[in-house]
Amino acid sequence: MSNTAPRPAEPVPGRLDRLVARVRAYRLAQRRRNAGRNKTGGRRATWLLGALVLLLVLLFVAGLNYLTPKTGGRQVTLDQFVALTGDRRVTTATFLDQDNRLAGRYVAPAPGAKANATTAALPADGAFWLNYPKSDVAFGILADRLTTDGARIRIDPQSHKVLVRSVTIYLLPLLVLAGVFGLLFTGSRNGGSGIGEVTNFGSMGKKKATRGGSGSVSFADVGSATEAITELSEVVDYLKNPSRYEQVGAVPPKGVLLFGPPGCGKTLLAKAVAGEAGVPFFSVAGAEFVESLVGVGAARVRDLFRRAREVAPAIVFIDELDAAGRRRGGGGSEGGSDEREQTLNQMLVEMDGFEVSAGIVVMGATNRPDILDPALLRPGRFDRHITIELPDAPGREEILRLHARTRPISPDVDFAYLASRTAGFSGADLASVVNEGTLLALRLANDTVGTPELEEAIQRVLHGPQGRGVVLTAGERERIAVHEAGHAVAAAAVGQAESVHRISVLTRGRGGGQTRIRGGDDGLVRTADELYGSLVMTLAGRAAELLVLGTPSTGAEDDLESATRLAGDIIGRYGMSARLGPRRLLANDVNTYLGGSSGLADLAPRAMDAYDEELVVLLTEAEADATRLLARNRQIFDRLASGLAEAETIEGPALEVYLYAVEHTPPSAPGSRPVRPPVRTGR
């Protein structure tokens, strides 16, 4: 029998996708609506509860006031009461049972009666009252005296006060306490709105997301960051439409790490991404996660991500990421490292937990990428790294112009000239130059901000109260240019020119300028000559300073550190010293991974001495070779040094033009030259 019933039409794949996308969009919108509703509802509950607690406190005060005994007349002492009753002057008396008070009236002494000295201080007649202890004995004595006196006695049980007392003393305080706890609870549930925030350790407090959109920061507000903006455009695209990425199975950017010197616009860029995508922007400083209380940081991370998820797509920006994301274990584990580890773990868990459609991008900023935990930098976490450099001259000009947009700057101001005067300034410094200049013009009652004000502002920023010390004097600039040109020429001479793609005099950390060397040795087998070439190249900066200027400087500190480490590896790890033989002297580098430095194995003192001597020989020879290479290419080297001093940064093809004529004469490693007979170093 054939089945003639019509079969339901198969959904067309395109239609199905569209349907799935619509369902997802609907769910997302619903989640957001609920989040918004929960938030307003929660806030309303907090207010209502607050008002209720206030009312209860007022009732409590009113109750206490009501319970306070209020009796007209004069308080009398027990002696005076005894005297009054002894003289039969008390006419009426009422025992106020709840107040433990006896209140009554007395009359003037009978005419001709002898005045009692005890009652002399009292008015002739009137009302009186007396407190008595709550005991049958006291009550009995007083009643006895009054009966003897012949006064009319009454007992007022004050039963209305019994109820008020029970409510005021027992019930109201309990209700107030419950109300306060309720406030704390709703406060913490609302992410810190309300009194709850006071003890709300585990939440990020009142921190609110700023929403991007019209009027917020955009890429147009960030100057000198073309590369970074290009990289970040993809993040913007993802945030605008996260479900599109899920549909095509693309892995979206999850974590973006911005690194660069302070004030170069990392926060500004992150805000601009939020602004461009029109999504909420949650900003926290890494230090806010690190509390002395263990567990609080982790709870804060959870809270932050929960809130971001509620309004996704969103950006979570963690400034000073190194404060929370420092390398775990290893060297320098000071107090609170447990806490930091927990916080870091929580951060990793949260980042791993996003679905593609979650639409959350975490952006971190740091000046110290080197101390970040490697786990943070793995794929799926902060796997996009964007370096933001100090701006070069055209970049500085662009930033100055950007900040001048909203200021009444005189049309004859030469921004290119000002940019040339501000080598080493960060974006933040340039922003404050324009601001200081405007303030100066204001003080001088000028209509526009002119070059003199801006020049004065540069001086202020340079020598301001903070004492910057990163801006170069002409002498420093020349020295750094010589140093960096030395690295570059040596790199070309040892055959590693392709590894240098950018040299700059702009200060970076303690070491002055920088020669950016492309990585490339990971996983490669490197020969002794190549390693020695790298050593020569590393020491060439210092050699150049000695060759041209006659003295070394502190600028070579970092170079010396890397050169010593490399030389140590050559002889102690790779066994490339003919004198020490093919042995591994350095301990396993387990600690290196954890942030410590690999130490020497337990060497006998003689072997240690030999290692030390060999290290000095290798380093000295490498420096001498560097000097020889530079001297041989002196013309090119001088030209590059002066070109660099002028241009501040030379990169790419421009650098190749300088270096193409460098004589390629790589020195061979001392280990592969004829050497002295090996010395026995015995352990």
Contact region with ligand ATP (CB under 6 A), list: 218-226, 290-298, 489-497, 510-518: 218-226
Place of tokens 């101001």: 413
Contact region with ligand ATP (CB under 6 A), list: 151-159, 216-224, 300-308, 568-576: 216-224
Active site residue 484: yes
Query: Cβ 391 to ligand ATP, closest distance in Å?
Result: 6
User: Measured between alpha carbons, how far is 38 from 457 in angstroms, rounded to an integer?
Assistant: 50
Using CB under 6 A as the criterion, what x/- string covers residues 271-310 for binding ligand ATP?
A: ----------------------------------------
- Which residue in the list 276, 389, 453, 484 is annotated as catalytic? 484
CB within 8 A of 233, min separation 6: which ones?
Answer: none
Q: Where are the beta strands (DSSP E) in 98-192?
A: 101-106, 126-131, 152-156
Using CB under 6 A as the criterion, what x/- string covers residues 423-452 for binding ligand ATP?
A: ----xx--x---------------------
Residue from 218, 267, 451, 591 touching ligand ATP (CB under 6 A): that is 267
Whose Cβ is closer to ligand ATP: residue 431's or residue 630's? 431
Collapsing DSSP to helix, strand or coil, 165 comes out as helix
> Which strand (E) or helix (H) includes residue 502?
strand 500-504
User: Measured between alpha carbons, how far is 393 from 416 in angstroms, rounded to an integer?
Assistant: 8
Collapsing DSSP to helix, strand or coil, 339 comes out as helix
Q: What burial class does residue 336 get, using C-beta atoms within 10 Å of its C-beta: 0-12 exposed, 13-18 middle, 19+ buried?
A: middle
Cβ contact 485:644 at 8 Å: yes
State which amino acid sits at residue 230: T
Q: What burial class does residue 52 get, using C-beta atoms within 10 Å of its C-beta: 0-12 exposed, 13-18 middle, 19+ buried?
A: middle
Query: Cβ 347 to ligand ATP, closest distance in Å?
Result: 19
Binding residues among 356-375 for ligand ATP as defined by CB under 6 A = 365, 367
Contact region with ligand ATP (CB under 6 A), list: 25-33, 43-51, 259-267, 460-468: 259-267
- Angle made by CA atoms 59, 183, 30, in degrees to the nearest 5: 135
Q: Which residue from 389, 635, 629, 590 is spatially nearest to 506, judged by alpha carbons?
A: 389
Q: Give every strand in the sheet of 514-517, ordered side by side.
A: 514-517, 500-504, 649-651
Considering the rule CB under 6 A, would residue 263 count as an interface residue with ligand ATP? yes
Query: Cβ 365 to ligand ATP, closest distance in Å?
Result: 5
Residue from 105, 161, 189, 266 touching ligand ATP (CB under 6 A): that is 266
Whose Cβ is closer to ligand ATP: residue 221's or residue 569's? 221
Contact region with ligand ATP (CB under 6 A), list: 186-194, 265-273, 442-450, 617-625: 265-273
Contact region with ligand ATP (CB under 6 A), list: 115-123, 220-228, 451-459, 643-651: 220-228
Query: Cβ 226 to ligand ATP, closest distance in Å?
Result: 10
Whose Cβ is closer to ligand ATP: residue 320's or residue 373's? 320
Q: Which two tokens stand for residue 129?
A: 């009252």
Whose Cβ is closer to ligand ATP: residue 268's or residue 610's? 268
Query: Cβ 282 to ligand ATP, closest distance in Å?
Result: 15
Total number of residues binding ligand ATP (CB under 6 A)? 19
Whose Cβ is closer to ligand ATP: residue 287's or residue 444's? 287
Query: Cβ 264 to ligand ATP, closest distance in Å?
Result: 5
Residue from 265, 513, 541, 572 touching ligand ATP (CB under 6 A): that is 265
CA dihedral 248, 249, 250, 254 (to 10 degrees): 130
State the CB neighbour count (10 A cutoff) for residue 86: 15
Q: Which two tokens stand for residue 210?
A: 């700023």
Whose Cβ is closer to ligand ATP: residue 398's or residue 623's? 398
Binding residues among 327-346 for ligand ATP as defined by CB under 6 A = none
Whose Cβ is closer to ligand ATP: residue 2's or residue 466's? 466
User: Measured between alpha carbons, how far is 152 from 90 in angstroms, rounded to an integer?
Assistant: 9
Considering the rule CB under 6 A, would residue 325 count as an interface residue with ligand ATP? no
Considering the rule CB under 6 A, would residue 268 count as an interface residue with ligand ATP? yes
Query: Cβ 298 to ligand ATP, closest distance in Å?
Result: 24
Query: Cβ 404 to ligand ATP, closest distance in Å?
Result: 11
CB within 8 A of 81, min separation 6: which ones?
Answer: 90, 102, 128, 130, 142, 145
Whose Cβ is closer to ligand ATP: residue 129's or residue 382's? 382
User: Measured between alpha carbons, how far is 622 from 531 in angstroms, rounded to an integer?
Assistant: 11
Whose Cβ is closer to ligand ATP: residue 180's or residue 229's? 229
Give the residue at shortest CB distance from ligand ATP: 427
Query: Cβ 641 to ligand ATP, closest distance in Å?
Result: 28
Query: Cβ 388 to ligand ATP, closest distance in Å?
Result: 7
Whose Cβ is closer to ligand ATP: residue 14's or residue 469's? 469
Whose Cβ is closer to ligand ATP: residue 399's or residue 659's? 399
Binding residues among 221-250 for ligand ATP as defined by CB under 6 A = 222-225
CA dihedral 104, 110, 113, 116 (to 10 degrees): 20
Q: How far is CA 319 from CA 50, 260, 267, 271, in A?
A: 35, 12, 7, 12
State the sign of the Cα–Cα–Cα–Cα dihedral 510, 516, 521, 522. Answer: positive
Using CB under 6 A as the criterion, what x/- string covers residues 381-400 for binding ligand ATP?
A: ------------------x-
Considering the rule CB under 6 A, would residue 218 count as an interface residue with ligand ATP? no
Considering the rule CB under 6 A, would residue 592 count as an interface residue with ligand ATP? no
Collapsing DSSP to helix, strand or coil, 95 comes out as strand
User: Measured between alpha carbons, how far is 585 from 564 in angstroms, rounded to an integer?
Assistant: 15
Place of tokens 């991007």: 212
Q: What burial class does residue 475 get, using C-beta atoms within 10 Å of its C-beta: 0-12 exposed, 13-18 middle, 19+ buried?
A: exposed
Q: Which two tokens stand for residue 621?
A: 């020879």
Contact region with ligand ATP (CB under 6 A), list: 99-107, 257-265, 468-476, 631-639: 257-265
User: Binding residues for ligand ATP, per CB under 6 A?
Assistant: 222-225, 262-268, 319, 365, 367, 399, 402, 427-428, 431
- Active-site residues, by number, are 484
